[in-house]
Amino acid sequence: MNDALIVVNFKTYQEAHGVAAEELAKIMQQIETDARMVAVVSAFDLSSVVSAAPNLEVWTQHLDPIGFGSNTGWLHPETAMARGASGTLINHAEHKVSIEHIAMLLDIIPENFTVCACAADIEEARALSALEPDFVAVEPPELIGGEISVTTADPEIVSGTAIAIREVSQSVGILCGAGVKNGDDVSMAISLGTSGVLLASGVTKVKDPHFALNDLVSKI
């Protein structure tokens, strides 16, 4: 399990933006674990978080398949990379895009830049895996931000996603998310066939994120 991935989406929570994002990233950087820890931050916070936690892997929350030019309001991949992003989420339940958007994005980014495409269900995960992103993360929208982990509420969608993705690709990494809160949830996710978890409020909104992060990696 040493290759397990713990991805923390900072979203736009008040507890995880601006200076608070920098402080949370510093805490993540301090966790002693063999797991791969990733902070997913607002594009506005990329530079400051990368500077505050230089040894932490940092992704941005969304990118658009555009180059330099007249693209007002869009998020430019090369600018994100210049600000320190080494990966991105795409198609999160809170920011859905078309499959064409994802395909075009994958066509223009370098191979060493990580893309994690989010899926709401098994069929969407299957379709996304055919595009060969680095990871596909299944997150049932109704469980996002809730108190019950997807691994407890709907373990079949996790195991079913793992099977569906492997039917399409042997290289795409598999994540799950929604309601993930503790080490038991992470351990269960991995036992169901994933490489790790994508979570948010289980770290960003707790009183003691250091404790929460240590708990998350405790059974890896």
Size (the chain), residues:
220
Catalytic residues: 92, 139
C-alpha–C-alpha distance, residues 124 and 118, integer Å: 9
Which residues, other chains included, contact 210 with Cβ-Cβ below 8 Å and sequence gap of 6+?
27, 30, 31
Task: Supply 138's token pair.
Answer: 């299944």
User: Among candidates 51, 130, 157, which has minimal Cα distance to 149?
Assistant: 157
Read off the pLDDT of residues 177-186 as tens digits, 9 standing for 90 and up.
998 989 999 9
User: Among candidates 194, 116, 111, which has minimal Cα distance to 149?
Assistant: 194
pLDDT of 120: 95
**Average pLDDT value over all residues in the chain:** 95
User: Among candidates 91, 69, 89, 66, which has minimal Cα distance to 77?
Assistant: 66
CATH number, domain containing residue 206: 3.20.20.70
Q: Where residue 1 falls among pLDDT bands split at 50, 70, 90?
A: very low
pTM of the predicted model as reported, rounded to 2 decimal places: 0.95
Read off the pLDDT of residues 76-133 as tens digits, 9 standing for 90 and up.
999 999 999 999 999 999 999 999 999 999 999 999 999 999 999 999 999 999 999 9
Task: Supply 76's token pair.
Answer: 């430019």
Read off the pLDDT of residues 52-82 as tens digits, 9 standing for 90 and up.
999 999 999 999 999 999 999 999 999 999 9
Q: Are strands 173-177 and 196-199 parallel, antiparallel or unpaired?
A: parallel
Task: Supply 36's token pair.
Answer: 């791969």
C-alpha–C-alpha distance, residues 162 and 153, integer Å: 17
Read off the pLDDT of residues 11-20 as tens digits, 9 standing for 90 and up.
999 999 999 9
Q: How many domains does the chain have?
A: 1
Residue 134 domain boundaries? 5-216
